[in-house]
Amino acid sequence: MAVILLDSSVIFDHLNGRYGRTQFLEQLIEQGHVLACCPVNLTEVYAGLRPDEEERTAGFLNSLEYLPVTPEIARQAGLLRRDWQKKGQTLSYTDVTIAAVALRNEVPLLTDNRKHFPMPELQLLPLPAREV
């Protein structure tokens, strides 16, 4: 059993009923895992939300454990972005913040955007192939 941080792409896929993500998340919960989100997820989800989706979306997001962004996490995110930029890879502020939340809380990240999270110290959980 583990707390698992969800990348926003996984949340979007679940909310939109795509790629069998809902069933996969349900399996994780049945196995005793706890699903989590962070402030960046909330910002990304609400930025694209239609008014008629608000209640259902809030219900799902409120069912997740919440991992905050602390000053230490913000600092680590900035350093991750700086260090990867020096290596020639510019990562988004949102992705480095999600990565820093996972690293600081020592939880795996569930994402299908592996190229956005190249940090070798970050534990990425595999997603099953996308089902249409």
Residue 89 domain boundaries: 3-125
- Tens of pLDDT, residue by residue over 69-122, are 999 999 999 999 999 999 999 999 999 999 999 999 999 999 988 899 999 999
Q: Which residue has the higher pLDDT, 129 or 2?
A: 2
The backbone region for 13, taken as left when phi is positive above 0, alpha when psi lies in -120 to 50, beta otherwise, is: alpha
Query: What are the E-state strand segments in the chain?
Result: 3-6, 34-37, 65-66, 109-110, 124-125
Q: Count structural domains, the chain.
A: 1
Look at residue 130 and tell me whether its pLDDT is greater than 80. no
Rounded to whole angstroms, how far apart are CA atoms 87 and 27?
38
- Indicate whether 21 belongs to any domain: yes
Residue 132 is assigned to a structural domain of this protein: no
Report the percent of the chain where pLDDT is more than 90. Answer: 80
CATH of the domain at 27: 3.40.50.1010
What is the mean pLDDT of the segment spanning 47-56? 88
Coil/strand/helix, residue 70? coil
State the residue for tokens 């939340």.
101
